[in-house]
Structure 1
């Protein structure tokens, strides 16, 4: 009989994404679910796919509250909130504990614990991979926009200020997208994740070369 943990977690998580911005919405959660299961299917060892799918649905439910300053750490908040939700549904304690660890360990921030289980490592990798490739470029650009709007200042510009003849404030250019993506790829835990990441990185390199050509910082053919 198929487990109901994945579909249940999806149902429980959906309301939390109602106020999410595009970079961390329910579609991001679905992509992370899909990629994490894809990576799991490439492994010879055992992976609890129900725990992995549930953690993927829940992993960013705290992002909308973190964005507006209601909470400080969406990882810890999501772990606590998901635990309460799943306990109310009589989900087995060991599975809740496994999901909770995945949620606490999914972030790249220095304060997050390292993922110790294969499910937590796969969730971490799938989440970071969604910041790479074609979708990743769109997501990272959305994040730049979110941060600019929140601070009231330009967080990044999309061109190279050094090519202008007028004085400009020192702000990061589009290279920040390259840096963010590479930082996440370098942090991946699994061989499966690294292989997928490098194929996405190849596409990103082509994009950045084309961007440089179009903006006059490269040679346009």
Structure 2
């Protein structure tokens, strides 16, 4: 049943990601699936991998609609949509409820419920870890790019606030990416997630140190 449910969830999710931008597309969902199962292997407790994999594929199906303003909360909408899709395929109600909770609780926004199950915590951690390290830096840069130039928002610049340049001092800069990554790592729930997060943070710090050098903050090496 595990492979069947995961395959079903993947099949159901893919059409929703066709309009997604790179930071929240089907490749992101696949990475989160892989990461969540890796964390599950390392946590030492029994994990419903069936539920976890399905939730990973479905967790961001509402992102494209949220981005265009058609819905307000991709977590809430996505959980309900996933539940309807799975129910139509005859998936057991307890499995649907477990997947629905994972999706509702995967965000760091204040309105999201706390993840209560191990599967929800693993999905949360995997999703946040995909915003750290080398992949995370690229993803966060994509997110900044998506937001730049929207009505009422200023364009982000490739710069660093530690360098005093009046022309860019009032605009978002790359230090925002570092803050976003740190914010997500500080919220992790599981020991395997925190261990992997620490490793990825080392790379993140080294990247921004190099970035500062290239801007001439301390002299490029």
Report if TM-score (shorter chain) is over 0.5.
Answer: yes
TMscore range, shorter length: over 0.9
Q: Deviations over 1:144-178 (max 9, x none)?
A: 000114336434222136533x5445123211000
Q: Which residue of 1 aligns with 2:214?
A: 214
Q: Quick check: 2:157–2:168 contact (8 Å CA) kept in 1?
A: no
Aligned residues: 220
TM-score (norm 1): 0.95
The runs of at least 4 aligned residues of structure 1 exceeding 2 Å deviation read 149-156, 160-164, 166-169
Which residues of 2 match residues 1-20 of structure 1 at below 5 A? 3-20=3-20
Cα offset, 1:89, TM superposition: 0.5
Structure-2-length-normalised TM-score: 0.95
- Aligned residue for 1:151, secondary structure, equals coil
Higher mean alpha-carbon deviation, 31-40 vs 2-11, is at 2-11
1:2-151 equivalences in 2 (<5 Å) = 3-151=3-151
Structure 2's unaligned 5+ residue stretches are none
Indicate if the aligned counterparts of 1:209 and 1:218 stay in contact, CA closer than 8 A: no
- Residue 168 to residue 135, structure 1, CA distance change in 2 (3 Å): closer
1:32 touches 1:56 (CA, 8 Å); kept in 2?
Answer: yes
Report Cα offsets for 1:58-115 as digits up to 9, x if no partner.
Answer: 0000000000000000000010000000001000110000000000000000000000
| Residues in 2 aligned to 1:173 and 1:139: alpha-carbon distance in whole angstroms | 15
Distance in 1 of aligned mates of 2:219 and 2:167: 25
Which sections of structure 1, spanning at least 5 residues, go unmatched? none
Distance 1:67 1:2, change over 3 A: closer
